[in-house]
């Protein structure tokens, strides 16, 4: 394992771009020979996150190298995608990296992390996309992906509305128009996944309240009152 770890270190520390990329590919090939043992003993997710989190211009090779490792791992070992999705949130923030080479690597790496999530694992991707990012580019991108996921996997997404909607609403007042617009589209798409026809009449009001900056609330059923059961909004 020590020799494989040294390859990872080269992928995230070598001065030359070509050397780092070659090491990333070599690392992925080495991991593919014993995936479970390598992920467990080398703690690959932690290694990647540690290098992605490095700040400053001098740490550009570490951030870029970690993204190259992600790209090569998912390409060489497709099954690792379900594990490496844990790195999505931190990788997304690099869409706003000040170093162009790092930003370009993020732009090519992130679609690989996201693609091919089917109905069975869509909740895993949604949970990763719900986590707040710290750059405008990242938040706009992840909100767009939530919208797309809501359209292609509505039944699975609807199960997580309780956690997802409150995470989206604050971004509807974001100072960046592209983020606020993406949040609005995302909220509408999320509401449209609700399979309960009794809720359809309240979707437009929910969206309107959210745009006006109202605090997230919830609908309560009041079966204790006489007569037909009516939903009551609790802010």
Residue 207: name the closest of 220, 190, 230, 231 by CA.
190
Residue 172 C-alpha from the chain's centroid: 18
Residue 202: the pLDDT is 56
Please name the residues in contact with 22: beta carbons below 8 A apart, sequence gap of 6 or more: none
Give the C-alpha separation, 4 to 75, whole Å. 18
Place 161 in a pLDDT band, splitting at 50, 70 and 90.
Answer: confident
Pair 142, 231 in one domain:
yes
Lowest mean per-residue pLDDT among 41-50, 102-111, 126-135, 206-215: 206-215
Tokens of 6: 């040294």
Last residue in a domain, options 77, 101, 116: 116
Is 162 a residue whose pLDDT tops 90?
Answer: no
Lowest mean per-residue pLDDT among 31-35, 117-121, 170-174, 179-183: 117-121
Pair 158, 89 in one domain:
no
Is 45 a residue whose pLDDT tops 80?
Answer: yes
Pair 160, 192 in one domain:
yes
Beta-carbon count within 10 A of 162 CB: 9
Residue 31 C-alpha from the chain's centroid: 24
Pair 84, 123 in one domain:
no
Residue 26: the pLDDT is 94
Q: Please compute the mean of the pLDDT values over residues 116-130 and round it to a whole number.
A: 83
Which CATH number does the domain housing residue 31 bear? 1.25.40
Q: Alpha helices of 12-153 — where are they, by DSSP H?
A: 17-32, 35-42, 44-52, 60-76, 81-84, 88-93, 100-114, 122-130, 136-152
SS3 at position 219: strand
Tokens 């009152």: give the residue: 225
Which domain, by its residues, includes 19? 1-116
Last residue in a domain, options 64, 95, 116: 116
Pair 60, 139 in one domain:
no
Pair 176, 231 in one domain:
yes
pLDDT above 70 covers a percentage of the chain that reads 82
Q: 60-109, pLDDT tens digit by residue?
A: 999 999 999 999 999 999 988 889 999 999 999 999 999 999 999 999 99
Q: 8-30, pLDDT tens digit by residue?
A: 999 999 989 999 999 999 999 99
What is the residue-averaged pLDDT of the chain?
84
Pair 32, 45 in one domain:
yes
Phi, psi at residue 29, to the nearest 5°? -65, -40
Last residue in a domain, options 116, 134, 169: 116
Pair 5, 43 in one domain:
yes
The number of distinct structural domains making up the chain is 2
Is 227 a residue whose pLDDT tops 50?
Answer: no
Residue 5: the pLDDT is 93
Pair 93, 128 in one domain:
no
Beta bridge partner(s), residue 234: 218
Q: Please compute the mean of the pLDDT values over residues 168-187 and round it to a whole number.
A: 90
Pair 217, 146 in one domain:
yes
Tokens of 51: 């290098």
SS3 at position 218: strand
Residue 191: the pLDDT is 84
Q: Evaluate whether 54 touches 62 at the Cβ level (below 8 Å).
A: yes
Pair 210, 194 in one domain:
yes
Pair 101, 205 in one domain:
no
């Amino acid at each position: 394992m020590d020799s494989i770890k040294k390859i990872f270190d080269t992928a995230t520390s070598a001065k030359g771009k070509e050397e780092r990329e070659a090491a990333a590919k070599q690392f992925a090939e080495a991991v593919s020979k014993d995936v479970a043992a390598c992920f467990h003993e080398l703690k690959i997710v932690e290694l990647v996150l540690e290098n992605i989190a490095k700040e400053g211009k001098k740490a550009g090779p570490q951030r870029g190298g970690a993204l190259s490792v992600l790209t090569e791992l998912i390409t060489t070992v497709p099954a690792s995608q379900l594990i490496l999705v844990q790195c999505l949130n931190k990788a997304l923030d690099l869409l706003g990296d000040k170093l162009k080479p790092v930003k370009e690597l993020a732009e090519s790496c992130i679609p690989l992390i996201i693609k091919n999530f089917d109905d069975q694992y869509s909740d895993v991707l949604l949970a990763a996309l719900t986590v707040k990012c710290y750059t405008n580019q990242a938040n706009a991108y992840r909100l767009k992906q939530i919208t797309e996921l809501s359209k292609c996997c509505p039944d699975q997404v609807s199960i997580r509305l309780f956690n997802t909607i409150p995470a989206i609403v604050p971004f509807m007042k974001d100072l960046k128009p592209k983020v606020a617009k993406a949040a609005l589209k995302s909220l509408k798409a999320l509401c449209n996944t609700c399979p309960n026809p009794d809720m359809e009449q309240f979707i437009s009001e929910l969206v309107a309240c959210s745009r006006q900056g109202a605090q997230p609330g919830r609908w309560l059923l009041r079966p204790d009152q006489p007569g037909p059961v009516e939903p009551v909004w609790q802010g």
